[in-house]
Chain A
Amino acid sequence: MTDEPKHDESPPPDDQAFEEALDAAEVFSDLANEDAALGVGEGLEHGALDDDAVGAQDAEAFADEFELPAPQPAAVAADEAAALAPAAAEFGPAGPSIGQLFKPVVKHSPASRIRIESDSIGALFHRFIEQG
C-alpha cells in the first residue's frame, strides 16, 4: 500500500500567477492615480490648469491613456490602500523616495518629461498593463 499523496493546498501555478498579476494591476492603478493627482497639482502650480474640473478631466484623460481605472472616491482609495499595505511594507517604512531625491535635479532638466522607452522603466509600466 502506498502512502496517499499529501494534498497541496497552495493554488495551482496558473492561479497564483493570476493573483500576482491582479495584485500588480491594483498597485499600478493606485500609483497611476497618485501620479495623475500629482500631475494635476503640478499643472495648477504652473498655471496650466485653472480649476478642479479641468484637473479632474486631466486625471481621467491620464487614466484613459494608460487604460487604467479613473481616480476613485476617497473611501474606495482608502480600502485599496489598506489592501495594499502588506505589499507596501515590503519596501520599508514610509519616507522620501529615490524619485523625490532627484526632484530638484529634474526641475533643471529641459527634458523633464518622463521618457517612456522600450528599454527603460517604461517597459515595466507596459508590462503591468499587459498583465492587468
Chain B
Amino acid sequence: MPRSLRATSSGAIDFGSFLTTNAATGEIRTKHDARVVVLTAESFLALADAVRDRLGDEVSDVLYRAGYSWGRHRFGEFTADAEGSGEVLYHLRNMGLEHFKGRFNDVLVCGGWGTFSIEERFEVVLVHVNNSAFHEMVSSHDRRYTDFFAGFLAGFFAELIGVKLDAVQVGGFGDAQEPCIFLLADDSIVSPVRLWLDSGKSCEEVLDLVQAGDYTNQPPKRKS
C-alpha cells in the first residue's frame, strides 16, 4: 500500500492524498493533477456497446487499443511516482519482483481495479487479477470487453520491459471470486492462444498447449 494511503480497520482506504476532491469546483484530481470522473459500469457499457453496435467484432480490437494506450500512459505515471520518491536512482526493470508487485498493486488498488499477482510459466507471463472490477462490471455483459484490460496490461508491461507485448484473458470468466488470468507474451504466441480460446478450449487446455509450445496453424496477427 502506498505510504500516502491509509487503511482503516475494515480495510477501506482513505484516498486522502491520492485523490483530492473540490466540492466548490466539482473536481476530483489525482496526485498527478489528472482530473478524474467516476466511470461506472453503466457508462463504460454504454460506450462499448455503441462501438460494438457500429463495428461488430472489431470492438475487441478497438477496446484493446484503447487499453494499450491507457497502459502506456499509466506507466508514465508509474515512473513519475518512482522519480518523486527518489527511486529514479534505480533501473526500473531491475526493480525487485516483490517490490514491483507492491508498487503495481498500488496502481490497481488506487484505481479500484482489484489486486494482482504475476508469475512466469512456460515462457509466458501470467497476470492474475483478483477481485477484478472488470470481471464484476462488464465481462458478464460481453466477454470481449475484457480486451480493454488486457490492452492495459500489455501497454504497461511493454513500456516497462521495452519490447512489444500482446495480452489476452485466458481464465476467470466464470465465478466472480475466481481470479482473472491474463497471458502476456509476444503476439506469435498470443495469436494462437486467441484461436484456441475461440475454439472453446479451457484455461488449463490452453496452458497445456502453451507448455507444449506448438504454435502452428496460427491465425492472422492483430493489426498493429
Contact = CB atoms under 8 A, between A and B. Distances in A.
Interface stretch (A46-54, A64-72, A95-103): A95-103
Contacts, number: 114
A44 interface: no
A97 B165 contact: no
A121 interface: yes
B98 to A, nearest CB: 6
7 contacts: A31-B90, A97-B94, A97-B97, A102-B125, A102-B161, A110-B186, A124-B83
A115 interface: yes
A128 to B, nearest CB: 8
B163 interface: yes
Interface string A18-47: 001001100110010000000000000000
Contacts of B164: 109, 111
7 closest A-B pairs by beta carbon, nearest first, are A99-B93, A104-B123, A114-B162, A98-B100, A109-B163, A108-B186, A92-B99
Given A90-B90, A101-B125, A112-B163, 7 more contacts: A92-B98, A94-B96, A95-B96, A97-B93, A98-B118, A102-B120, A121-B92
A101 B159 CA distance: 15
A119 interface: yes
Contact of B159 (A24, A107, A120): A120
Contacts of A28: 89, 91
Interface residues of B, number: 39
- Interface size for chain A: under 10, 10 to 19, 20 to 34, or 35 or more residues? 35 or more
Interface in B68-106: 72, 75-76, 79, 83, 86-100
Given A105-B184, A109-B163, A112-B163, A124 B79 contact: yes
B188 A108 contact: yes
Contacts of B157: 102
Contacts of B165: 105, 109
